[in-house]
Structure 1
Amino acid sequence: MSEVLGVHGIWNYQTVTPEVAASALATKWAAFLGVEEERIAVAYYADRLRLGSHGGDAELEALNRALGDQPRELLLAWIAELGWNASEPQGWGAAPLRGLLDWFVQRFDLSRQTVDRFVAAFLSEVSQYLDLQDSGPRQAVRSVVGAAISTHQPRVVVAHSLGSVVAYETLWAYPRLKVDVLVTVGSPLAIPGRVFPVLQPTPVDGRGRKPPGVRKWVNFSDVGDAVAVPKNLAKYFEGVDEDTNIATGMFWTHEVSHYLRNPQVRAGILGLS
């Protein structure tokens, strides 16, 4: 049993056994939180998405074709939420993925390498998890996370990035699982078009709901986090008890370390006053 169970986000695939990968992630998360390792475990599921590398032009375009243009649709919905105007004369709406990634370079003044690695990983993993044509990876990931919650019986589940989507759906898929506090950080749960509308269960009248086994839901979004959009999940989900925007003072703040080291987030996870 562990007091806290983490559910990781994108970019965590490791070429080791799942047990070793989970242990390594737990060690890192404990250090970020400043707690003893025995207090935290992490549910590792990246291997169930069959990912090892990301970002090459040929690889990303091949993934886009294999998933029926879903990565490109996700990118269009994502950048529209971040402020891209489809009517702009650049013609990015009809551009290949490489051209659409150019928008991130210009919008956030990032290096090409940063954009290639991070955005491509996000598109790959989110699209594979939410693949409308193949539910196998989605079910496998939820099974792993559900088993971890059942085994560790944590008081708190901390779900980062894609992990917030996974945890939300897992807790709905296994309603007998009980969690005192669900803490979502850097969550893309409300991204329109390719995330929010295809959640399971499907939102009703534009609203999702807190999973039945969760007593309290706390959400943190960094104002500089380009993945946690739209901000303020309480606008889209009934039962979000606390919805807090934080500012780490850092740019491109999606890394889980930035959240777990934040005093407000740490207090929300550990029940500090």
Structure 2
Amino acid sequence: MKELILIHGRSQQGKDSKALKRAWIEAWGRGLAAAGLSLPIPEERIRFPYYGDTLRDLLEGISEADAAKIIVRGAQEDDIAAGLLLALLNEYIAACGIGEDEIRRNLPPAAGPVVVERGPQNWRWVHAVLRTIDQRVPGSGVLIGLLTSDVSLYLRNTNVRGAINGGVLEAFDRPLDKVVVAHSLGTIVAYLLLRQVGSEAGWRVPALITLGSPLGIKAIRGRLGGVRHPDCVGRWFNARDPRDVVALYSLDERNFGVVPAIENKTDVHNRSSNRHGIEGYLEDPVIASRIHGALVG
């Protein structure tokens, strides 16, 4: 007997854990229907560990768009966050083929002489890069700001990491084989827990399915303390929309080389406005079928 564990990324505003779980299941159901399949297990065997309050509380009630601006500005005073932000932006510039002229066209007006210094200390440069990326896929600049905050907090703040890990670990309390589906920041949480805790705890995970994952980004990958296939995991399937800026790279040999290799699907057409939403991934019939197959196989 198997159960399904769903590990979310940044919480969706205005929804509680039950509503979020329902949204995941309904989106998966639409993907299954498109593939001619139906829900293979009762909902009692679908676990949805919710850690959204930990991240939501950090925003103190402000919108995610405003939070992203504050986070990016805050990186000016935080050397660790600044280093991550600079590394992320440089990767996006290279991966998206963004030229200096394009960045200059998006610079906010300057009160004095124009000096375009590359780095988080230069807010005008950061703003111009994010605006340029936003022009490619609307909403992407906000995602990058939030990604910087989420990853920085999770990897270096023991209280935040402990709260998130503690909530997710509760979903692994039953002695059943577990199919794990993780999205966004949740893929980092899932990967580290499976790698660090899974074998010792005796977890059996025949399939790990990661969606919209930032694990392949060098600036993030280099902060994970090494890269290897979790011993407790059987097959690993990863899917991304090529327009999803959070999932900048596939988890292939070049960007996340592990043995056995991860199978990648790189042609997802995520219908969400920023191409990163979980519903847009779960509605994909191939992804939905993979989850189904892992549970019934």
CA contact 1:11–1:121 (8 Å) conserved in 2: no
Q: How far is 1:67 from its partner?
A: 6.3
Q: Which runs of 5+ in 2 are unaligned?
A: 30-38, 105-115
Is the radius of gyration larger for structure 1 or structure 2?
2
CA contact 1:76–1:93 (8 Å) conserved in 2: no
Alignment counterpart, residue 51 of structure 1, candidates 49, 52, 58: 58
Task: Please list every run of at least 4 consecutive aligned residues from structure 1 whose deviation after the TM superposition is greater than 4 angstroms.
Answer: 84-89, 151-154
Q: Secondary structure at the match of 1:266?
A: helix
- Structure 2 CA distance for partners of 1:224 and 1:215, relative to 1, 3 Å: same
- Alignment partner of 1:42 is 2:48: yes
What does residue range 1-80 of structure 1 map to in structure 2 within 5 Å?
A: 3-12=3-12, 21-34=16-29, 35=39, 37-49=43-55, 50-52=57-59, 53=62, 54-56=64-66, 57-58=69-70, 60-62=72-74, 65-66=77-78, 68=80, 69-70=82-83, 72-80=85-93
What does residue range 1-273 of structure 1 map to in structure 2 within 5 Å?
A: 3-12=3-12, 21-34=16-29, 35=39, 37-49=43-55, 50-52=57-59, 53=62, 54-56=64-66, 57-58=69-70, 60-62=72-74, 65-66=77-78, 68=80, 69-70=82-83, 72-83=85-96, 90=104, 91=116, 93-94=118-119, 96-97=122-123, 99-109=125-135, 114-115=139-140, 117-131=142-156, 134-151=157-174, 153=176, 155-174=178-197, 175=199, 176=201, 177-193=203-219, 195-199=220-224, 202-203=225-226, 208-235=227-254, 236-238=256-258, 239-248=260-269, 250=271, 252-271=274-293
CA contact 2:236–2:262 (8 Å) conserved in 1: yes
Q: How far is 1:111 from its partner?
A: 8.4
Q: Which moved more, 1:32-41 or 1:21-30?
A: 32-41
Q: How far is 1:11 from its partner?
A: 4.1
The total of aligned residue pairs comes to 258
Structure with the larger helix share? 2
Q: Secondary structure at the match of 1:164?
A: helix
Identity of aligned residues (%): 26
Please give the per-residue CA displacement for 1:57-95, whole angstroms capped at 9, x wherever unaligned: 445423652564245335424424533568768436235
Please give the per-residue CA displacement for 1:107-141, whole angstroms capped at 9, x wherever unaligned: 442687x356433322221221123xx33322332
- Structure 2 CA distance for partners of 1:249 and 1:30, relative to 1, 3 Å: closer
- Structure 2 CA distance for partners of 1:110 and 1:76, relative to 1, 3 Å: closer
- Structure 2 CA distance for partners of 1:99 and 1:82, relative to 1, 3 Å: same
2-side partners of 1:111 and 1:246: how far apart? 16
1-side partners of 2:2 and 2:77: how far apart? 41
Letter in 1 for 2:230: P
